[in-house]
Structure 1
């Protein structure tokens, strides 16, 4: 989408020989001990499309999935990050969603993060992968595990019906800004339907201008209004959409920062953001991280991770 400024840290390598890469990866996992340095060097320096090509060659040459060999030959968070790198994105997101919907506690953060930030085509591919890999419908699982306004927001997002044109019609912008104002700040109580429709259907470009108009009308930033009109998971979901609309790289810088905790670092979250954003806008995320928190992302990665895992994450966020 045009609001996603493409400024990755992982770019396609040229010249690229997927057959040779497959051979080197196999060699790195053969015999006693694993050559982690080679695994890191290859997989952190190939674009997503190149990694998918290596997958195909690996399976053709050795009759085994690269994911399976990495699963067998590596361990811990390092293994999780390597497997994330070589998993097709729709399958990876489907797995993250399935993990977050299974068990006693639903991980609302993951649902919000994925459903609130993917394009229509990406969401459709994730839904297909979900059915294929888990034999279940994503919408049914969302309905079964969530409730109220939050459930309705997720179902609307999962429907993948967002307008993705970049044309801005100022009369439509003014109508939506007024509708949001009338649905929230101007009245007692909140007309949640209006927020759901506008936040889940309109294009990012349109929403950005709506938020500017909203501020002129109400004297409030849209984030302020969301915080005063909504609570809990609904509030977090609408905030994620608004922040992603206004500045995706700052939104993800904040989310990465939120993954760091001294004894309980959210490694799944950290891996997901670094693996996926390294191919999109990680160079911008790093700048926003430094501006917002006063020090480099590299510093926090070193502080909250270690060993080969740390080296792999650092390699992914270093411009190659």
Structure 2
């Protein structure tokens, strides 16, 4: 049984040809004098990758002796301003800030920790850890430990360790053994042996885990998600389900998060911005497809119904719908 690795198609790809100097000149012109040409700003920044935007910022400073981000902030307001600042932040630094803010102050936003820590590769987590350390002079692991507890804490520490096998080599016998071990650690005993779930879900490669989930269902007649819901609760349940769902279908996992950020009373703009900015260079095409099939409306229509003005236009440009 072979598992094709999930296809990933971005909506923001490197501009080619790319002329950071010409882009810097367009942005300067858009912000100089009376009034701001928001359309020109969106046309440039929403059609460049994060790496290219950072090059434009360097060029902007070289040409005009001014900080592009500061100029954008002084010329824009509200969610449009927040979106542009997010787009101009180096990605590892952006993730580090989001994690830090999720743990700052009273209470912890576990959803943000889950979204970032449960879906990143080893290399990405290592880069985020370095960025976290250089921004806050503290280790991400120590902050995670201080802000979480119990099974959820162990899950976060394991993921922060970035030690997952990423070989994509599969072994049906190991998958069977792991499925049996999970069954014995959960449904076949009184109480739950959390460490077995932690070990299997945080160590095995994604293709191998797909096989483990399949074996688990073959042994029990039901999905492993049902076992997690029965055996765990609260943040631990949410974290383990996130690991499983993002391994099964990462695009569907992110489509669900996008829907959650917009449904109900008011929009969680911080989540919406983070999800669009970080996924548009990875797999936004697949996320849009999953969104449409799951919710019966396009992601573009959901954004149109929930956002307005230049903020809406810029989000639509990032998801390739302008």
The bucket for the TM-score relative to the shorter chain is over 0.9
8 Å contact kept, 2:300–2:321: no
Higher relative contact order structure (alpha carbons within 8 Å, sequence separation ≥ 6): 1
Give the whole-Å Cα distance in 2 for the aligned partners of 1:217 and 1:251.
25
Partner of 1:316: 318
Matched, 1:62 2:64: yes
1:66 Cα offset (Å): 2.4
Partner of 2:78: 76
Could you tell which deviates more after superposition, 170-179 or 87-96? 170-179
The unaligned stretches of length 5 or more in structure 2 are: none
Q: 1:279 aligns with which of 262, 278, 281?
A: 281
Q: 2:105 aligns with which of 103, 106, 111?
A: 103
Could you tell which deviates more after superposition, 136-145 or 114-123? 136-145
Q: 2:42 aligns with which of 40, 43, 49?
A: 40
The number of equivalent residue pairs is 319
Instruction: Render the CA deviation track for 1:229-252: whole Å, top value 9, x for unaligned.
Output: 110000000111101000011110
1:60 Cα offset (Å): 2.7
Could you tell which deviates more after superposition, 177-186 or 91-100? 177-186
In structure 2, the CA distance between the partners of 1:208 and 1:98, relative to structure 1 (3 Å rule), is same
Give the whole-Å Cα distance in 2 for the aligned partners of 1:169 and 1:22.
52
Partner of 2:12: 10
8 Å contact kept, 1:185–1:218: no
8 Å contact kept, 1:168–1:205: yes
Partner of 2:294: 292
* Structure 2 length-normalised TM: 0.95
8 Å contact kept, 1:183–1:194: yes
* Alignment of structure 1 residues 118-267 onto 2, 5 Å: 118-267=120-269
Give the whole-Å Cα distance in 2 for the aligned partners of 1:72 and 1:4.
41
* Structure 1 length-normalised TM: 0.96
1:11 Cα offset (Å): 1.6
Instruction: Render the CA deviation track for 1:139-159: whole Å, top value 9, x for unaligned.
Output: 111111111111111111111
Instruction: Render the CA deviation track for 1:76-99: whole Å, top value 9, x for unaligned.
Output: 111111111111110000010111
Partner of 1:49: 51
Give the whole-Å Cα distance in 2 for the aligned partners of 1:129 and 1:64.
24
1:263 Cα offset (Å): 3.4
Give the whole-Å Cα distance in 2 for the aligned partners of 1:65 and 1:113.
31
1:319 Cα offset (Å): 5.9
1:3 Cα offset (Å): 3.9
